[in-house]
Amino acid sequence: MGMRRGSTMRDERDGMGRIVRSFLGSGKRRMEWMRGEGRMYSDSNGEDHEVVIGTQNGNDGVGVEDVDRSRGWSLLLRGLIPDLIWLAVAVVVMVVVQGVVDQVEVRMVPFYAHDFRFWRSSHAGTVPNWVVWAMIALVYVPVILVLPSSRETQVGETSRAGNVQAGSKKNVMRSARFAVWLLVAAFWTSSFTEVIKSVAGEPRPDFAYRCLGLGAQLSDVDANKVFQSDEDCMAKAQELGRSSFGLKDGRRSFPSGHSSESTVGSVFVSLYIAFASSAFSSQDVHGRPRWRSLLVQFSALLPMLFACGVAVSRLLDNRHHPVDVTAGFVLGSVLSVFFFGVAIVRDLGSGGKL
């Protein structure tokens, strides 16, 4: 009886040992439990697999949160690919247009010596062109990326990755898309402006001094003299003992590039701020206006102050005529509204809700 019981116990130990060795012996299923935690699962063929989802020191393995975060960024970039393609096209077009404009001749508009519109001494630009582009890239784009554009950011459900909300993810996609289309609008506006400048060939307010040289006076020339080309200007300036300068740029007054580029950015971000103000409830639980909603709505006007300031500076510096600045403002506004509408259509087409 004792021998039979001992034999049974040995058989049980041997069986248990085989099970343990079978489980730990396979290279595919070996887990280093002392280093981290693992998870086993079976595929459709019944084979077991292991996934290391975390470690004690936090340096080994990939957590579920990391996987979700990486997947979220991947989906974001994939969703923005068409928009980024449009951005690349806009950049290429702008570079090509600038290269062509630098090589071709500007339209020659006759300059009448008695026309007082062109006898205004200009000053150095109060607002350099790089300031306009810095405003767009370093202020307007971050504003769009920071401001929420939907109330979904307040009511989204928590995802598996932790405290990241589903509505917030959609909001990030929307903000990134509008930021991209702001840049698209700015680049296309620059291209249109450069082409129109070369086609129009309108002289700047200081063209008389560019043509006849600094220090020239109306009494130096016949009031009825008409300068048909740059060669006429250079010949007369040489006769007066002076030299012409900046003639090509002097014939590129219409429309104002500063005005069009600052306006397209300002109008676009103003529209977005007004659009984003709907993300905040206009009243609190007691029916009183919320200060944050009012502040956001009021701030939509601030970018327009920059555009107006740039436009006025071009007039004060005698770099443009009033019609040039007005045309630039209209051009920038029209293109801004157009590309803002394109961004909305793109957002709706990708499943967004306004």
Residues that are catalytic: 258, 320
The pair of structure tokens assigned to 354 is 């306004």
The pair of structure tokens assigned to 315 is 């007039």
Give the Cα separation of 153 and 146 in Å (integer).
12
Burial class (CB within 10 angstroms; exposed 0-12, middle 13-18, buried 19+) of 223: exposed
Give the Cα separation of 49 and 38 in Å (integer).
10
Q: Are 279 and 286 in contact (CB under 8 A)?
A: no
The pair of structure tokens assigned to 267 is 């109008």
Q: Is 118 helix (H, G, I), strand (E, B) or coil?
A: helix
Q: In whole angstroms, what separates CA 233 from the centre of its chain? A: 43
Q: In the chain, count of helices (H) and strands (E)?
A: 13, 4
- The total of other beta-carbon atoms located within 10 Å of residue 345's CB is 10
Residues in contact with 248: Cβ distance below 8 Å, sequence separation at least 6, in sequence order = 106, 230
Q: Is 263 helix (H, G, I), strand (E, B) or coil?
A: helix
- The total of other beta-carbon atoms located within 10 Å of residue 249's CB is 12
DSSP symbols for 163-204: S-BHHHHHHHHHHHHHHHHHHHHHHHHHHHHHHHHHHH-PPP
Give the Cα separation of 333 and 127 in Å (integer).
20
DSSP 278: G
Q: 257-276 and 291-299 helices cross at what angle (nearest 10)?
A: 160
Q: Tell me which residue has tokens 């060669």.
A: 231
